Structure 1
Amino acid sequence: MKSSRLLSILLLLQTGGPMTAARLAAELEVSVRTVYRDVEALQAAGVPLYGDAGHAGGYRLLDGYRTRLTGLTRDEAEALFLAGAPGPAADLGLGPVLAAAQLKVRAALPAELRAHADRISSRFHLDAPGWYADEDRADHLPAVAAAVWDRRAVRVTYRRWREPTDVERRLEPYGLVLKAGRWYVVASAGTGGPRAYRVDQILELRPTDEEFTVSEGFDLAAYWTAYQEDFHRRLHTGEALVRLAPGAADRLDAAAARAAQDTGRAEPDGWTRARVPIESVGHAHDAFLRLGADIEVIEPAELRDRIAATATALAKLYTDGNASAHGGN
């Protein structure tokens, strides 16, 4: 809608400084000619917007001009309050700051939008961790967040899974990521580029006065996306050929379920034959057993034999157990 686009132009200029028509057009995904028309409409409405010619030119707002929040739509106001998750903000020591900011935004909203925004806290609550996940105590999270903000290195004692488990590291923290209720710090240890570290595995932290500069072109969101993709590639190093009963694919992990959908071939008995990724024979053995008789492993032979041996042992256990139970009566 044109009104929404006009507000977007004002907010872009207010937060990003001078911008050319071409850059505005790219941000808004419209033509340069449309930007020209929108600028004329804003100027006709009395907005102090003017353009500078030349290489360093562009459109800018008169110094001190600020838009009001009356341009927010109902959906935007609701999304704004939904995005302010109190749990993570409290973890970072920003709970009171978030509450104060939301109070100020709420006061600036028109009455109708304020009523809609107020419904968010009473109807939606974000609880990121899973049901069976233990709470990770990230005691050093505020100190890590301060180091990220100030661009200062920290020295930590970090616990990793392989030997030696407790190691000393000098980290340059680029940014923080909250994934499924667990905090990670993306940091450079001086060699090999940035890596992800679990904040709850930092045993000790010592702040320093050593400033650092983030690598040119580093993008936290892009790094995390690439990190997750690489993690899943390294996680699933094997493959299994299986037969699945109707509905069984929905009980597999996400990667295996996607593979079953992509590679699955229906068979006359209603089952589906598919190739699915596995982490290891041991992990697949435990994961597939949860499906009981709704999955049959065809390959690899090692996995099939191991599940068959477990099924035989279970059958014997329950057969002998029933005999013992009946004999005890």
Structure 2
Amino acid sequence: MTTPATPLRIGLVGTGPWARNTQAPALAAHPGVVLSGVWGRRAEAAGELAAAHGTTAYTGDAGLDELFAASDAVAFALPPDVQAPLAARAAAAGCHLLMDKPVATTVEGAREVAEVAERARVASIVFCTLRFAPETADWIAEQGATGGWFTAHAEWIGALWAPGEDSEYAASPWRREKGGLWDVGPHALSVLIPVLGDVTDLTAVRGPAGTHHLVLRHTSGASSTVTLTLAAPVAAAGVGIELRGEHGIAGLPRWDGAVGAFGAAVDALTESVRTGEAHPCDVRFGLRLTELLAEAEAQAGT
């Protein structure tokens, strides 16, 4: 992790499981930043999370503005369509953005954030785990440099709502409503696009158990397929991405948790702030992901 001369003050907006398990611990432990505060809709939750990490709690609409004023950047751990307008508000206040995927579940919401961030000239990162976990980030860069791929397949098959499963994330209303397409689809696309190029054609159909199947054509000429769901049986669950090309077959390696990956995303934001150079996985990339997922949703129907 990088340690800038002046630590970046990063506030956290959100107090749910993702904030508690990943973002707050990563920010509090990072040597190059200061966790400048935690904002939550419920004062009790904000107070508990802030106290656990030795920082200030904020709540209410005025508290949000106070957190922005006390921060150089803001990290978001909120449902996407709550995140988007608050991120636009933070950018307008001059705060750099560390957003979760997806940026929003509407193209209009994602575009608003991207446009406000551009006007305000703030740096941004969209946290797609595989783009920042060291094991997978290195693999993505290596496969992009290798080239020669003609096809790929990605599958992210989760069992979040299977009987007997007790994940904290299963209670999320937006995940229940939008399913695997929106929750884990960004992960798959965030790997395929930097290796194979942007998507030029997309076809999407629905399958059983909330499954979405995508067929993509990329600017490199390669094609790929993607299978996504969060509602599979436990025995069917698994994650894998495989590339095939003139150099053989390459499979996505395993990665070690989200806290370290989030720390790497903090590094990336810090570097973008320092240099003024946009990161490839910024809010404009988040907008592109939203465009593709919205198109897939429209094609596949409900």
Name the TM-score, length of structure 1 as normaliser: 0.25
Larger RCO of the pair (alpha carbons < 8 Å, separation 6+) = 2
Name the TM-score, length of structure 2 as normaliser: 0.26
- Greater Cα radius of gyration, structure 1 or 2: 1
